[in-house]
Structure 1
Amino acid sequence: MVSKPHGGKLVRRIAAPKTRERILSEQKEYPKAEIDHGRAIDLENIAHGVYSPLKGFLTSDDFQSVLDHMRLSDDTPWTIPIVLDVEKPEFEEGDAILLYYDDLPIARMHVEEIYTYDKKEFAQKIFKTTDPNHPGVAKVYAMSEYLVGGEIELLNELPNPFAKYTLRPVETRVLFKERGWKTIVAFQTRNVPHMGHEYVQKAALTFVDGLFINPVLGKKKRGDYKDEVIIKAYEVLFKHYYPKDAATLATVRYEMRYAGPREAIHHAIMRKNFGATHFIVGRDHAGVGDYYGPYEAWDLFDEFPDLGITPMFIREAFYCRKCCGMVNAKICPHSEEFHVRISGTKLRKMIMSGEKPPEYMMRPEVYEVIRSFKNPFVE
């Protein structure tokens, strides 16, 4: 059975056409706040239920509860603060304001609370470090002094160059039902696929009805693959190597926090809202640098027996020269001398130098897609 939305009900916070028209006609009468691209994406995810049960940005009780207990104040599991920061606000609690991105009114917000917070506490509790070299910590330190909590109504969406592959939770739930899938495993990725990814995905698919590959599109760190490269690579992989009736591909716009274990839980909740019943938790899931242990995220799932989506812990795959195939440590009896690790960093270096990866590392069709781009990496 397709999973129930997190919190029990799929949130939809989109202004009705007549309401939208009226708000936009009166927009000069509203106080306004400018937001960045990441918060605009958060707004879309709130409005379309990707962040169910959130109906808006967190108020202080929920914010503190997430920091301290990894749960909302009503005890619903929630690990990443979805917050809106502003400079000294020119509006008050109780006001309705408009949120703008790049001169586009994105949403109306009903201001429930304006509050301050401790940035070091935020960083330490969410990222387990206060090191400003951590990209998530740096982002927190760059935030404004005040947070604003309250419910939102979406008025406009950002331009979407990948609309063809964008499905909202209400749509994926219909798709899964139409395909007769009762169990669905979701795979989150921000990379082009290599053979290790394919091994993990297909190993998981063995136990369920359908595979939902859900690449993250949006702002990434330097050296990550560009969005269009990821999409094209998966297109060619699906065309040649995936069963059409057992796998589907849809994207989600989301700004990575690189919060390791906490973000792994958040990613699972997002896929639960899309309708997935299972979620593949990777090695060093949502990690960066050496801030988290390789399987630390696996342990954190033990603290959430009420999460409502089943984590699938599939160990890192590698090529074994003795087995003549992709394996993992649980199923391969051979010593390290026969193992070839598939490192994303190593693959990037090979691609940058024009070297074609061996076929046990990456499908040749995927390599050709990457090579077709003048610069496939974020600069």
Structure 2
Amino acid sequence: MLVNRVLREVDAQHWRDRAGSLRQIVIDEELIKDVKNIARGVYSPLVGFMTEPDFNRVIHEMKLADGTVWPIPFVLTVDEAVANDITIGEAVMLVAADHTPVALLAVEDKYTFDEREAAQLIFGTTDEAHPGVKLLYDGAAWVLGGPIELLDNSKEPYNHYNLDPQETRFLFQEKGWKTVVGFQTRNAPHRAHEYLQRIGLEVTDGLFINPVIGKKKAGDFTDDAILAAYTYMITDVFPKNRAVLSILPLQMRYAGPREAILHAIIRRNFGCTHFIVGRDHAGVGKYYGTYAAQEIFDTIEDIGITILKLENSFHCKRCETVTTAKSCAHPDDQRTGPSGTIIRQLLQKGEVVPDTIMRPEISQLLIQQGNIFVQ
């Protein structure tokens, strides 16, 4: 069942009027995304930030306190002085940097945890070079747990593409899709990803392209570039009414196998029956095995969505098509994979990426758009 912690406007205004009388905690843009995802049901069954029993069981067993599979903790950290001043049962207003009220937190718990132990359990490493570990270490020492209620349900800057789970489920039903495959991406479409998407379309009624939008590193495709390219794919490449595009505002933790489970649960909440997990899903560097994110699903109980475990795809000169090692026996010197470095270098010079790696019309679209990489 989907969680809905979005207040009616009349109730939201009531709390906005009272915001000045409540303790306020400033949260950053990435945490605001988590708050909105909780409230809109994207993270169902979470109703707020985790209390200590949930936190401990999640990091040790990948389950909430009630036994529900959940792989990664979502927490609100504060300084010790703030934690000491807050009482259990207190209502706290979570506000943006400009002090606009975002959500109400009913504090049910406050606690600390061993950061190194948590990092090792969640990410499989305590190395600060891992971005998820650094994010964990950079957090304050104390944690506040409890349910939230959302006051600010704005969806800027991509209102048209920012559908919540109730909306996507209605959309899938309206299209008559009984089976839907979810595909996550952080890049403009290339041939290898298109190949995986087509496999998904062969076995389901519809394709849900769900790019992660938000904080990026230098050299990544901009959100605008990703959305423009996939809009073209949906309108001009895939069969009509077989694919839809909606964003997922989310800060990646790069937790590899654990994050793959989270992403699958999120797509189940959106209404998907299937989810594609490829090589090194949600990985970074060499912290995880190539197919560890697929193998972890063999160790957990059913989470209500079918995982399509697909091989790394590439273009084979001898086969003259995009394929995988499961159906192509030719050696590596006949294979061309979708090198992000090569794609970036060519597009930055205004040159079309080889047709074997990316559709020419996608290359042209991106070149014409300009400023397609994060600086």
TM over 0.5: yes
- Alpha-carbon distance between aligned partners in 2 of 1:159 and 1:151, rounded to the nearest angstrom: 21
- 8 Å contact from structure 1 (residues 236, 365) kept in 2: no
How far is the alpha carbon of 1:99 from its aligned partner? 0.2
How far is the alpha carbon of 1:335 from its aligned partner? 2.3
1:99 maps onto 2:94 in alignment = yes
Aligned to 2:353: 357
Residue among 240, 243, 246 paired with 1:244: 240
- Alpha-carbon distance between aligned partners in 2 of 1:121 and 1:157, rounded to the nearest angstrom: 35
What is the 5 A alignment of 1:286-297?
286-297=282-293
Q: Which structure shows the bigger proportion of residues in helix conformation? A: 2
User: What is the identity, as a one-letter code, of the residue corresponding to 2:229?
Assistant: A
Aligned to 1:70: 62
- Which stretches in structure 1 are left out of the alignment for 5+ residues? 1-8
- Mark the CA change 1:56 to 1:309 in structure 2 (over 3 Å): closer, same or farther: same
How far is the alpha carbon of 1:370 from its aligned partner? 2.0
1:18 maps onto 2:14 in alignment = no
Q: Percent identity of the aligned residues?
A: 46
Aligned to 2:271: 275
RMSD: 1.2
**Residue deviations 1:66-115 (CA, integer Å, cap 9, x gap):** 10001111111100111111123232111001001121110011000011
- 8 Å contact from structure 1 (residues 237, 365) kept in 2: no
Q: SS in structure 2 opposite 1:372?
A: helix
Aligned to 2:27: 35
- 8 Å contact from structure 1 (residues 10, 49) kept in 2: yes
TM-score by length of 2: 0.96
- 8 Å contact from structure 1 (residues 99, 109) kept in 2: yes
Aligned to 1:317: 313
- Alpha-carbon distance between aligned partners in 2 of 1:290 and 1:345, rounded to the nearest angstrom: 17
The higher relative CO (CA closer than 8 Å, separation ≥ 6) is in: 1
- Alpha-carbon distance between aligned partners in 2 of 1:341 and 1:276, rounded to the nearest angstrom: 28
Q: SS in structure 2 opposite 1:206?
A: helix
**Residue deviations 1:153-187 (CA, integer Å, cap 9, x gap):** 00013561111111110000001111111111000
Aligned to 1:234: 230
Aligned to 2:150: 154
Aligned to 1:367: 363
4+ long deviations beyond 6 Å: none
Residue among 35, 44, 54 paired with 2:36: 44
- Alpha-carbon distance between aligned partners in 2 of 1:361 and 1:27, rounded to the nearest angstrom: 53
- Alpha-carbon distance between aligned partners in 1 of 2:217 and 2:115, rounded to the nearest angstrom: 22
How far is the alpha carbon of 1:374 from its aligned partner? 3.7
